[in-house]
Amino acid sequence: MTAEKALNYRRYEEGESTWDDFQEKIFQAGWSHKCPTYVHRTPPCQGSCPSGHDIRGWLAIARGMDKSPVEGQTWQEYAFSRMVEANPFPSVMGRVCPAPCEDGCNRNEVDDHIGINGVEQYVGDWAIEHKLALPKPVKESGKKIAIIGGGPGGLSAAWHMRRKGHAVTVFEKQAKLGGMMAFGIPGYRVPRDILNAEIQRILDVGVIAKTGVKIGKDITIAQLEKDFDAIFWAVGAQKGRGLFLDAWKDTANCISGVAFLEAFNQGRLHYTTKKVVVVGGGDTSIDVASVARRLGHITTMAEKDRPEAIVLGHTAHDVASAAQREGVKSVLTSLFPLEKMTASERERNDATREGVEIMGGVMPVDIIKDAKGRATALRMCKCTMNGMTPVPVEGTEFDIECDLIVSAIGQMGDLADGLEALDNGKGFMNITGVYQVKGREKHFAGGDIVRPHLLTTAIGHGAIAAESMDHMLAGHPDEKRPKVDGHHFNLLEELHQRGKDPQQYSKEAVRGTAEAKFAVHNYEDRSSSQIIAHDELFLGHFTYDPVQKRKEKHIGADEVLGNFEERLVAFDEEQAKHEGERCMSCGMCFECDNCVIFCPQDAVYRVKKDEKTVGRYVATDYKKCIGCHVCRDVCPTGYIQMGLGE
């Protein structure tokens, strides 16, 4: 959208004289029986966030509107406390999350989205630098929880269950925690000191971790059920899918992207072959192709040092050989055209800049082998897509020479060695709407073992399952989850933390509660059922102010070999605060005073300073209100809606 279009937005077009909704016909002359009511709804950033972040909430803190109730607490610490209510990994997620929240941001209708990831990374890094801790539970419940898997989903569930006072033990088959954050993403995207710091914070609140333990083999399901009150399965999808070609199975130098990245991140894989072909199109395939370019190859390679031998765990590379490395030709292929690849645009651009050749709209049709049965080329053809099904274009076949083929087309769980009873037949687990494993009362599951998706999705699953488990342990299990399932602003909690709780209500039928001290003044919370769209806002209030983008350390194709330096440059404080100021606070008052200024009857007024909180900035004198709708029309955030009154 251009600046000119954004700055000339109008709610009503010239010549409009009829109302779309029949209810609006209650208007009579200059008054109506409708009066303003204050309606809290979920902004689309949060509605698009799989971890259910209260994004609008911590952006309000960054902008300085929502000030901490704790004397002397910095805004960064207050924002951090709000962030970790949903996601204990703000520093990691601020770096690697593809930010569906930014895609959904209503500000896209004015100029550009809010730099949400940048603010999250800034606050997360600040918290690590200043050694902020997670709050410890107030009291112990006496219940014991087993978390199977120490990745993002498992650690999220561990944190949320521990903060509720339950004793939590995490079982992880790897030697260290982190899951896909540690073994599926290279260190130049997630610095390991950052990841380790955020994991350690969770352990510091009393979560016990037992690594190197394979559930099903070392400890049976029956033993877990005996020793623990609830079990959360977050074992991930650790098995990569091979190409759907007959020649794939018996070809030694054909491996999965998951296994490739795991070997690299474990420090076993130090170089690869001269010509690598990666089949995929998502972020994993980008990581494989980019890591291959960084690793390089050596001209003389022993049989035991071939990449597939390392990836399969037969041996490990000697670090000393790194000095002999040379460049790698890395080709990435995708069924979809470049602009429709699932990998983020930024990652695609970085990979291309670093010398990865990306081919879109092509599909593999065969593997060409030499006399020893090793792949020497991947035969491809052009294709079109019929939904998710590739349709080959006849007569377009061509070969890509290679020494290694990596399949990054999907993942599935590894439910063998005693876990077969949990397998739904497709390598995953079936769960109910409250994240309970079907047919197993004490068992819950989330993350990639349910549906391979984003890291933040697994984090959200962990939080939701933790609440479901907690409710089950309390004796009132959930039957369903809210339509909009996230960590919403709660006005009563906001009033409570500032010592402004409403008075006790006698529970007698009362009319005319506008002046009553036990009633929350004409407020309605629809956040669990409604997401507010841009056409509910007064966009004309917002001036053109483009998003600030984080700087990146770009490297060229001739500089990539051996370069594992982090690419993103974090926001400074002023940049983070500025992005907070750009937030349109969709569905929540951000104290602009428009309704007070434009009300022709002076019916809308600011509440007394000692009564003010977030969401309680203005009120209405209904004796003066004539229902003219002006306050609603000039409300930038859509917080004011018109409802029937007396």
Q: Kindly report, residue by residue over 207-258, the tens digit of the pLDDT.
A: 999 999 999 999 999 999 999 999 999 999 989 999 999 999 989 999 999 9
Q: What residues contact residue 15 under an 8 Å CB cut-off, 6+ apart?
A: none
Is the Cβ–Cβ distance between 194 and 93 less than 8 Å? no
pLDDT of 315 = 76
Rounded-to-10 torsion of CA 79, 190, 162, 436: 110
Residue 163 pLDDT more than 50?
yes
Mean per-residue pLDDT, 513-529: 84
> Which pLDDT score, from 0 to 100, does residue 18 have?
61
Amino acid letter, residue 83: M
Give the residue, 520 or 280, on which the prediction is more confident: 280
- Residue 505 contacts by C-beta under 8 Å, 6 or more apart in sequence? 518, 519
**Residue entry with tokens 């397998």:** 423
Residue 109 has pLDDT above 90, yes or no: yes
Helix H or strand E encompassing 368: strand 362-369
Highest mean pLDDT among 143-152, 522-531, 551-560: 143-152
Q: What average pLDDT is seen over the chain?
A: 92
Tell me what the mean pLDDT of segment 528-540 comes to.
95
**What is the greatest pairwise CA distance in the chain?**
92
User: Could you tell me the pLDDT band of residue 10, with boundaries at 50, 70 and 90?
Assistant: low
Quick one: pLDDT at residue 484?
96
Residue 140 has pLDDT above 70, yes or no: yes
Spatial neighbors of 387 by CB under 8 A, at least 6 apart, are: none
Over 90: is that where the pLDDT of 437 sits?
Answer: yes
Do 190 and 166 meet the contact criterion of CB atoms below 8 Å apart? no
35-81 pLDDT per residue, tens: 899 999 999 999 999 999 999 999 999 999 999 999 999 999 999 99
Instruction: For residue 161, give the H/E element and its range.
Output: helix 152-163
Closest CA to 493 of 637, 615, 641: 615
Strand order in the sheet with 230-233: 208-211, 167-172, 144-148, 230-233, 443-445
Q: How do strand 618-620 and strand 275-280 relate by DSSP bridges?
A: unpaired
| Residue 323 confidence (pLDDT) | 57
Question: Which of 92, 91, 98 is closest to 113 using CA atoms?
Answer: 98
**Confidence check: pLDDT of 320 > 70:** no
Grouping H, G, I as helix, E, B as strand and the rest as coil, residue 141 is: coil
What's the CA gap between 145 and 167, in Å, rounded? 6
Distances (CA, A) of 554 to 94, 469, 470, 502, 566: 19, 45, 46, 55, 10
Q: Of the ranges 520-529, 540-549, 560-569, 590-599, which one carries the lowest mean pLDDT score? A: 520-529
Mean pLDDT of the region 142-153: 98
Query: pLDDT (tens digit, 9 = 90+) per residue, 459-471?
Result: 999 999 999 999 9
pLDDT single digits (tens) 482-516: 999 999 999 999 999 999 998 888 888 877 776 78
Long-range contacts for 128-135 (Cβ within 8 Å, ≥24 apart)? 128/91, 128/194, 128/197, 128/198, 130/76, 130/77, 132/77, 132/80, 132/201, 133/201, 133/204, 133/205, 134/84, 134/88, 134/159, 134/163, 134/201, 134/202, 134/204, 134/205, 135/81, 135/163, 135/205
Please tell me the chain's helix, strand, coil percentages from 3-state DSSP, rounded to the nearest 5: 30, 15, 50
Encoded tokens for 505 = 């209500």
Phi, psi angles (nearest 5°) of residue 204: -70, -15
Nearest to 617 by CA among 601, 594, 633: 594
Q: Which CATH architecture has domain 144-238+413-473?
A: 3-Layer(bba) Sandwich (3.50)
Instruction: Determine contact, residues 450/461, Cβ cutoff 8 Å.
Output: yes
pLDDT digits (tens, 9 = 90+) for 186-195: 999 999 999 9
**Structural contact between residues 93 and 53, judged by C-beta atoms closer than 8 angstroms:** no
Give dist(CA 304, CA 301) in Å, integer.
Answer: 8
Nearest to 237 by CA among 411, 409, 407, 408: 411
More confident residue, 464 or 518: 464
pLDDT of residue 319: 65
Exposure string for 275-313, b = 16+ CB within 10 A, e = fewer: bbbbbbbbbbbbbbbbbbbbbbbbeebeeebbbbbbbee
Domain ranges of the chain: 3-13+21-55+487-644, 144-238+413-473, 240-407
403: number of Cβ within 10 Å: 21
Quickly state the pLDDT bin for 34 (edges 50, 70, 90): confident
User: How much of the chain, in percent, has pLDDT values that exceed 70?
Assistant: 94
The label of the residue with tokens 């991930």 reads 236
Predicted pLDDT of residue 8 = 53
Tokens 């260190």 appear where?
Answer: 187
Rounded to an integer, what distance in angstroms lies between the CA atom of residue 295 and that of residue 475?
54
CB atoms within 10 A of CB 98: 19
User: Residue 555: pLDDT above 90?
Assistant: yes
Report residue 277's pLDDT band, with 50, 70 and 90 as the boundaries. very high
- The residues pairing with 147 across neighbouring beta strands, listed in sequence order, are 170, 232
* Mean pLDDT value of segment 193-208: 98
* Assigned CATH topology for domain 240-407: FAD/NAD(P)-binding domain (3.50.50)
Write out the two tokens for 213: 């333990």
Residue 29's contacts (CB-CB under 8 Å, 6 or more residues apart) are none
User: Fold identical between 144-238+413-473 and 240-407?
Assistant: yes
User: Mean pLDDT over residues 514-541, rounded?
Assistant: 89
Kindly report the backbone phi and psi dihedral angles of residue 144, in degrees, each rounded to the nearest multiple of 5, phi listed first.
Answer: -115, 130
Whether 314 has a pLDDT exceeding 90, the answer reads: no
Choose between 14 and 556: higher pLDDT: 556
Q: Is the dihedral of CA 350, 352, 356, 359 positive or negative?
A: positive
Q: 365: Cβ–Cβ under 8 A, 6 or more apart, which residues? A: 245, 379, 380, 381, 392, 397
Q: Is the pLDDT of residue 3 over 50?
A: no
Q: What is the pLDDT of residue 29?
A: 47
User: Is the Cβ–Cβ distance between 605 and 621 less than 8 Å?
Assistant: yes
Q: Round to whole Å and give the CA distance between 75 and 81.
A: 10
Question: Considering only CA atoms, which of 238, 235, 353 is closest in space to residue 286?
Answer: 353
Tell me the average pLDDT across 621-629. 88
pLDDT higher than threshold 70 for residue 9: no
| Structure token digits, residue 472 | 């089950």
Taking phi first (over 0 means left), then psi (-120 to 50 degrees means alpha), and beta for anything else, what does residue 266 get?
alpha
Confidence of residue 2 (pLDDT cuts 50, 70, 90): very low
At residue 20, the pLDDT reads: 58
Spatial distance between the Cα atoms of 264 and 325, rounded to a whole number of angstroms:
15
**Percent of the chain beyond pLDDT 90?**
83
Cα separation, 181 vs 92, in Å, equals: 8
- For residue 523, list its beta bridge partners: 38
